[in-house]
Amino acid sequence: MAFWNEKAETLSRDEYAAIQLDGLRKSLRRVLSVPENRPRYAAAGISSADDVKSLDDLYRLPFLSKEDFRLSYPLGMCTVPRSELREIHMSSGSTGTPVVMGYTKNDLNQWAETMARCLTMAGLGQGDVFQIIPTFGLFNGGFGCYHGCRKAGLFAVPASSGNTERQIRLMRDFHVTGFCSVVSYVPRIIELLDAELASGGGDGDIKSLKVGIFGSETFSDKMRKRIEERLHIECFDIYGMTETGGIGTTGQDCKAHCGIHVWEDQYITEIVDPVTGEPVPDGEYGEVVFTSLTREAVPIIRYRTHDISRIVSRSRCACGRTSLRLDRITGRTDDMLIVKGVNFYPRQVEQALMEIPGVKDEFQIILEDRHGMLDVTINVEAEPGVTGHTVVKHLKERLGFTPKGDVFPVGSLPRTEGKAKRVIRRTLD
C-alpha cells in the first residue's frame, strides 16, 4: 500500500491523542484571540487554552455552526490579520449568506498535504494524469484538487466543469488515469460513451482511466458499482467541506473501502446525537462534528457538519493506516425528508431505484406542500419496458410508503453541470 506521509498516517492512538490535545489548545488560543469569541467560551468556564487539561475537556466547549459563519460574514471568523491571507473560498450561498474560508500560506500547505494523502491513497502518483472537473473559482473543489496535484507531483488537467464531449476528449488525448467530480456528473459521461458505442462512432471506453474520486454528494453502493463496472475504474469517496478547509481536508476511503479515513493529526472527530448534542458510542449513527488542529486563518472548534455517519473502527486498517474510519455519509440532518410519518434520505431513494433492472441514474424527488399536507413524486429515467407501477411498488417496499411517480425516457429529465438537484420543493395553493 502506498502512503504520502507514512509516519503521520500510521501513528499510535497515544500519539494521536498527544497531537490532538496540543492542536486543540493551539486552535482555542487562536479563537480566543478574537475578542468577540470570548463571551461564548467564558459561559462554558473557559477563559484561556490552559483551561483545557485533557481531551475530555473538549466536551465543555460550545458547538460551532454554519450560522456562526454566516453571521460573521465576510471575515469575522478570521484569527489572523488580512495581510496574512493568501486565498479565500466560499460556499455557494444558495440558501443564505455565504460561508467564507480564509487561508494563510500554512493553511494552503495543509490543504495540499491532505489532498496529496488522498490522491496517493487512491493509487495515484508521480506521472499519473489527473483531470480536475470541479469548477475553479470561489467553490473549493477545483483549487483543492490542483493544490494536491502539485504537492503529489501529478500531471494536472484543470478542465473545470461542463462540456462533457471536451471532458472525454481531454481524458483520451492526455491519457488521464484519474479524475475528480461530483458523482451525479458521471452519468453524463456514461451517456455520451453509450451513444458513441451505439452509433459505431467509437468504442465507448476511456482506456487510460483507473480512478474516480467523488465528493460533495452522497451516493449509494449500487451507484458506485454501476460506475465502476461501466468505466472500468475504482471509485473513492473523498470528504471535506468549506468549513474544514475544503475538499480532502478531512479524509477519504482507501483501497480496502471499509470506511473514510479521517486525518486525525489534523482533525478531532466526534459523533453526537443530532438533537441533544451528546456523544454517541462508536458504531451508532449521529452527526459528524470536527475540530481543526492546524488551521490558522479560521480554526474550527466542534463544528456541527449536519452530516450523518458513524465511527466504524479505530483499529489499524488493512491498508496499514491507523486513523479512525467513518462510515460513508448517509445523509444530512437538514436534508432528511418526512413524508406520511416516514423519515428517509435521498440516498435511500437512489439505492432503491438502482435495484430495479432497467432504471437509469437520473431521478427527481418532488415534494408538494398543499396547505400543510406533503405529497412526494419520484420521477425516474428508465429503459423501455420499465413501468411506473414497478417503480412505485419497489419504492413502497423499500421506503415504507407509496409515492406518486412516473417513468421517463432516457435523456428526458433536466441535467446540471454541478451537483444534481435531486429534491424539488413546491408550494401549491
CA distance 9 to 59: 26
CA distance 268 to 16: 9
pLDDT at residue 342 tops 70: no
The pTM (predicted TM-score) of the whole model is 0.83
Interval 361-389: pLDDT, tens: 788 888 777 655 667 888 888 888 888 88
**Bond prior to 346 in cis (omega within 30° of 0):** no
Question: Please, which pLDDT band fits residue 288 given cuts at 50, 70 and 90?
Answer: very high
Q: In sequence order, what E strands does 143-204 have? A: 155-157, 178-181
Alpha carbon distances (Å) from 102 to 76, 138, 184, 242, 290:
10, 11, 28, 10, 17
Share of the chain above pLDDT 70, in %: 94
Interval 174-209: pLDDT, tens: 999 999 998 888 988 999 999 999 998 889 999 999
Interval 290-303: pLDDT, tens: 999 999 999 999 99
Question: Please, which pLDDT band fits residue 211 given cuts at 50, 70 and 90?
Answer: very high
CA distance 424 to 377: 10
Mean pLDDT of the chain: 90
**Angle between the N-to-C axes of helices 388-399 and 346-354, in degrees from 0 to 180, rounded to the nearest 10:** 130
Contact 136, 146 (CB under 8 A): yes
Beta bridge partners of 89: 101
Looking at residues 18-41, what average pLDDT do you find? 96
Q: Which candidate, 110, 39, 83, 68, places its Cα nearest to that of 265?
A: 110
Domains (range + CATH), the chain:
1-334 (3.40.50.12780), 337-428 (3.30.300.30)
Interval 139-168: pLDDT, tens: 899 999 999 999 999 999 999 988 999 999
pLDDT at residue 93 tops 60: no
